[in-house]
Amino acid sequence: MNPAKEKGYSVCGKCPGTTCFPRIAADEPLPPVAEAPTFCPMRRFPETIQKVQETYNQPDIREFARLASIQEAECYEATEDGMRTKFPRIEEIIQFSQKCNYTRIGVAFCLGLKEEMRMVSDILESKGLDVITVNCKVGGVPKESIGLAGKEKILGPDMMETMCNPIAQAAVLDAEGVDLAIMMGLCVGHDTLFLKTIQAPTTVLAVKDRVFGHNPLAACYLSKSPYYGRLRKKTERKGEGEKVTIPEKIIISA
């Protein structure tokens, strides 16, 4: 049984991708979309895919996408032994910034990654970039202001604990007029609010994983071993109450 087919949603993750990414010569005809599985988004949403393609005709989006794809290609090199990768992500970000002629780089970072922030600043500054950094505790607002009870804080009820403030991080970086914003180690959910607010083009250097040195895929790699087998153990879906929603885009009122 194919769960994707049964439930009726897009599932590229269960497809070999031979229709959208065929290994054929540049002058060969593309495979017909009808050959793709029924759960293929190209079959489920052909008009949407078509409209999206028209978006890339806007000159600024087209240029940004063009440079991003050049950057992508430059990260590989063909050798006698096969394809090799060349640049770690921090270099990729520097090179892409240079391609876009960006000079003011803003970083929204987690206070827990302060040491990493210093290293990243040194690296970016050594390439001639201005580095504007804003930590997650900016504003110094107690967690009680968003409704947390004392026992829901990390340090317990007796200590003042500052809330993470991703909306302020985004607002400050936009007020600073950064050309590119970089996210570094924001928590799950806090990163969501940052992305809902930030106006500047944004990329990610690191996502937070408190256990695996900010490499969340390490847990996935270990999920077939006894150590993290619990990740694959089938359990009931947890969830209660109404679905929580947030605005499509968070606009800071003047």
Which residues contribute to the site for ligand SF4 (CB under 6 A)?
A: 12, 15, 17, 19-20, 36-37, 40-42
Dig out the tokens for 137 from the structure. Answer: 């505790």
Element (DSSP H or E) covering residue 55: helix 46-55
Residue 52 CB, nearest approach to ligand SF4 (Å): 13
Nearer to ligand SF4, 65 or 251 (CB): 65
Q: Measured from the CB of residue 56, what is the shortest distance to ligand SF4 in angstroms?
A: 17
Nearer to ligand SF4, 1 or 154 (CB): 1
Closer residue to ligand SF4 in complex, CB, 15/222: 15
Report, in Å, the least distance between residue 39 CB and ligand SF4. Answer: 6
| Cα dihedral 146, 152, 158, 162 in deg (nearest 10) | -40
Q: Is the dihedral of CA 209, 211, 214, 219 positive or negative?
A: negative
Q: Using the minimum distance from each CB to ligand SF4, give the nearer residue, 10 or 95.
A: 10
b or e along 158-188 (b: 16 or more beta carbons within 10 Å of the residue's beta carbon)?
A: eeebbbbbbbbbbbbbbeeebbbbbbbbbbe
How many beta carbons lie within 10 A of that of residue 94, not counting itself? 19
Q: Which is nearer to ligand SF4, 9 or 221 (CB)?
A: 9
Query: 3-state class of 219 per DSSP?
Result: helix
Helices 89-99 + 59-74 axis angle, to 10: 140
Report the candidate in 181, 203, 199, 182 with the shortest Cα–Cα distance to residue 252: 199
9 vs 227, beta carbon nearer ligand SF4:
9
Cβ 215 vs Cβ 236: under 8 Å: no
Q: Which is nearer to ligand SF4, 52 or 246 (CB)?
A: 52
Residue 15 C-beta: closest distance to ligand SF4, Å: 3
Question: Minimum Å distance from CB 32 to ligand SF4?
Answer: 11
Pick from 252, 96, 99, 106: nearest CA to 178:
106
Residue 48 CB, nearest approach to ligand SF4 (Å)? 12
Q: What tokens does 21 get?
A: 């990414």
CB of 106 to ligand SF4, least distance (A): 34
